[in-house]
Chains A and B, each alone.
Chain A
């Protein structure tokens, strides 16, 4: 091999170990990740095994005691349920609406690029800001939502959207859907480019109904990209904090694990207990990721054989 190289060119020394170079390139990123993510994570897990207080002071090692309490706390279970309901329902709605929006944007019409740009706005606004905007719009006395619904006669009395336990979760999900649907739409729009040009026209010549075309051609083609986007959104939704805290603060009907953990740590000063809740959330998110990776890997191997 080396003899075949022209004069003046030397073969790279370690061609047999490209992995070494890869790790070298990754090193700075891994180091940053270890400092910014790894260390706090280790500290949190460690605190979760103690009875430390946020204000400081002496504390002792209590092993799994915090976790034992957690699992017997109805509020924890409630927070877990809220988290799963929020994540599942909002991601499902965002995906469905995102696909619809993407299909509309994919169709050629005048001013399409303007609409595409406008659509991304809700996603571009910082969550705390848009949550605050919605908090005002959903305000029971001064909010525009109640005003409009009263004006068209859809409701008789103003509704306490964020305070009423029966409505709060729906309101929170609605705001998240408003904010995140554009994100799903743009990812779906990118995936739609995987459908080869002229496939639509070939189907039209065959008289294939657009709905059938969507389920038989479009959906299978965008499914892998869609699944990755959904997972990403789902993991994001499991960790939701800002939106819910701004809209409904510590309301029991919407408090998710992140809200619950913050309440334990900051309001009740129980660092150890709060850390245990946070650690369990971490385990859930990691678990979901590993499951997804395992699933995609086995599918990739299947299609290779």
Chain B
């Protein structure tokens, strides 16, 4: 097992920068999920850890050793590719044993390792099949099996679930968690799916345009996003953003006014406490998640509007509400099935404890 550290990694393709100064530390045995939109440099990052690509600058450290210029095979990493990259003409068994033969393991040893991995992944009955005789989920397991037979110190997964249908994806997520609990191998899992990130990760690194925006445990990213991008990327349905007015800014407390006139008071984050008021005033908005808004029945009403659309999800209901003075619809998610209908007037309570205030896209105050 090994820890991984990336130190100021930069990489460009021609003039196009793909990674810009990446610093990331992954503890021994940790499950790190790197999440970000397509094209933000996740695969490039993973390939640099694997040694399949060379960074222009910076260092890769695995298990305390600076491995930046080591060949891939020496790094003790195993990778599962999005396309699985199975050898089409070989059986599942041969796919899993091919790399081991190279390591000069004995026949019995290879056989034992393959059967051990097949047993964990429950594909023992499929070992004689070729990839084209396997379903997508089964191929996925063989690809993972091939990686774990090598008993790697670091396990790299590049969007391994993105080719599976939704049901199977949920199932494989659970299996990956189980696998990690059992093997405790340091894992870097790359995905563009924030649900995958939230459910799998010990810690998540959110990437955008070749930079890491925030690193932290899933719930801390959910509660305290450092900027608008992380706020909108993590969590579904997406966070609401509502432009607000600056009403007061003193003694570390920020007072903002919602379009309807209601006021919210929140403590400013220490690092933003001494910013000049003018810099705070620019592009001020609150971010609040649909599941945190409350449909107010005669109680406190911070916002009021007319319901434009009702989405019944069964377990929850999503209301799209058009409020005067707010550009986009405000979305509220209520638990279960509700009787609200399109066209009705609704009053909404905004709990300050669940809000984040952004100034020019940067989070300066968290309610929670």
**Interface, chain A (partner B; CB < 8 A):** 194, 196-199, 201-209, 212, 216-217, 220-221
Contacts and interface: CB of A to CB of B under 8 A. Distances in A.
- For the complex of A and B, list the 6 residue pairs with the smallest distance between their C-beta atoms, beginning with the closest: A207-B73, A206-B99, A198-B85, A198-B81, A202-B85, A205-B72
B52 A221 contact: no
B312 to A, nearest CB: 33
Interface string B321-340: 00000000000000000000
A205 B78 contact: yes
30 contacts: A196-B83, A196-B84, A196-B85, A196-B88, A198-B85, A199-B85, A199-B87, A201-B50, A201-B72, A201-B79, A201-B85, A202-B79, A202-B81, A202-B85, A202-B146, A203-B98, A204-B71, A204-B73, A205-B51, A205-B73, A205-B78, A206-B99, A206-B103, A207-B72, A207-B99, A207-B102, A207-B103, A208-B98, A217-B87, A221-B88
- Residue of A199, A212, A221 contacting most chain B CB atoms (<10 Å): A199
Contacts of A209: 102
B247 interface: no
B328 to A, nearest CB: 40
Interface in B269-327: none
A194 B102 CA distance: 23
A208 B79 CA distance: 15
A201 B52 contact: yes
B102 A212 contact: yes
A196 B81 CA distance: 11
Given A212-B102, A216-B98, A205 B79 contact: yes
Given A203-B99, A205-B52, A206-B103, 11 more contacts: A196-B84, A198-B81, A199-B85, A201-B81, A202-B81, A203-B98, A204-B73, A205-B78, A205-B79, A207-B74, A207-B103
Given A201-B81, A202-B79, A221 B98 contact: no
A222 to B, nearest CB: 10
Contacts of B161: none
B79 to A, nearest CB: 6
B361 to A, nearest CB: 36
A217 B89 CA distance: 8
Interface of B: 47, 50-52, 71-74, 77-79, 81-89, 98-99, 102-103, 146, 150
A29 B72 CA distance: 55
Contacts of A205: 50-52, 72-73, 77-79, 99
B145 to A, nearest CB: 13
Contacts of A221: 88-89
Given A196-B83, A198-B81, A201-B52, A206 B88 contact: no
Contacts of B87: 196, 199, 217
A203 B71 CA distance: 12
A30 to B, nearest CB: 35
Nearest to A198: B85
A207 B82 CA distance: 20
Contacts of A201: 47, 50, 52, 72, 79, 81, 85
B2 to A, nearest CB: 15
A142 to B, nearest CB: 49
Contacts of B89: 217, 220-221
A206 B85 contact: no
Contacts of A206: 73, 98-99, 102-103, 150
A226 B81 CA distance: 28
Nearest to A221: B89
Which of B82, B98, B150 has the largest number of chain A CB atoms within 10 A? B98
A202 B47 CA distance: 11
A220 B88 CA distance: 10
A209 B89 CA distance: 18
Contacts of A194: 88
Contacts of B88: 194, 196, 221
Contacts of B72: 201, 204-205, 207
Contacts of B78: 205
A217 B81 CA distance: 17
Nearest to A216: B98
Contacts of B73: 204-207
A194 B50 CA distance: 24
A192 to B, nearest CB: 13
A99 B18 CA distance: 34
- Find the residue from A197, A205, A208, A221 having the highest chain B CB count within 10 A: A205
Contacts of B77: 205
B357 to A, nearest CB: 44
A207 B70 CA distance: 12
Contacts of B102: 206-209, 212
Contacts of B99: 202-203, 205-208
A216 B81 CA distance: 20
A217 B95 CA distance: 11
Contact of A197 (B71, B74, B85, B146): B85
B52 A204 contact: yes
Contacts of B82: 198
A212 B99 CA distance: 11
